[in-house]
Amino acid sequence: MLQVGASSYNQSIAADTQVPAASAVASQPAATGASATDKANPTPAPDKASSDQISRNAPASKGQAPGQPLLNETDQAELDSLKARDQEVRSHEQAHQSAAGSYSKGMHLSFEKGADGRRYAVDGEVQIDTSKVAGDPQATLSKAQTILKAALAPAQPSGQDKQVASEARQMITEARAAILAQQQEQLKGTPERAYETAAKPKASLGLDLFA
């Protein structure tokens, strides 16, 4: 477009000036393999910096951070899947940890590197203390109920979560049995009263005394 405009402008100048042919020929420099027009209007070389700038300024694809290399459809699909998995894993384990409270021993995550160079969580676990409270069945019951709640906290409990929940229910059953046994012992009275009852004649001795 610019070359066409420059050619028309030169033709107009030549028509108005009417320079004698001899003078025009004498003043024209010798050709050196390129025409005068070519020298006056050289073809600009590609600007590498400009090309790089255009490439850097190109809009990023969906989910692609600025400055990151463009991904093909397969890589982008895998990256989207990793991002979804990362969110799912973190939400799942966070639900366990929040419900477990002080019985949680921390969250452990396994990562996989995505096509964008970042790490994404693909698996995880929250370790929970499931030991009984020695000598205190009531505290054990409360702890087991918390463990059960933590095991089933995620929206979709895993097979392992359900196994922990089953163990927590068994722990609850045993703790309640221990509490009941304690209450029965308390109904029998203090150790001193139990001794006095044992000293009475056998005719008045209850069989359940030694249960």
In this predicted structure, what is the pLDDT of residue 62? 53
In this predicted structure, what is the pLDDT of residue 51? 45
In this predicted structure, what is the pLDDT of residue 25? 38
Q: Give 74-83 contacts, CB < 8 A, sequence gap 24+.
A: 75/115, 76/115, 78/114, 78/115, 79/114, 79/115, 79/116, 82/112, 82/114, 82/120, 82/122, 83/114, 83/120
Q: Which two tokens stand for residue 55?
A: 């490439």
Q: Phi first, then psi: what are they for 38, rounded to 5°?
A: -65, -40
Q: What is the pTM of this model?
A: 0.56
Four-CA torsion 135, 177, 99, 130, nearest 10 degrees: 50
What residue segments make up the domains of the chain, in order of their start?
70-129, 130-211
Cα–Cα dist 208/205, whole Å = 9
In this predicted structure, what is the pLDDT of residue 126? 96
In this predicted structure, what is the pLDDT of residue 191? 55
In this predicted structure, what is the pLDDT of residue 57? 46
In this predicted structure, what is the pLDDT of residue 66? 60
pLDDT < 50 regions, the chain: 1-34, 36, 49-59, 194-195, 197-211
Report which of 134, 139, 143 is spatially closest to residue 103, judged by C-alpha positions: 143
In this predicted structure, what is the pLDDT of residue 137? 97
In this predicted structure, what is the pLDDT of residue 6? 34
pLDDT tens digits for range 48-76: 544 444 444 444 555 555 656 688 899 89
In this predicted structure, what is the pLDDT of residue 71? 83
Report whether 162 contacts 179 (CB < 8 A): no
Residue 24 pairs in a beta bridge with: none
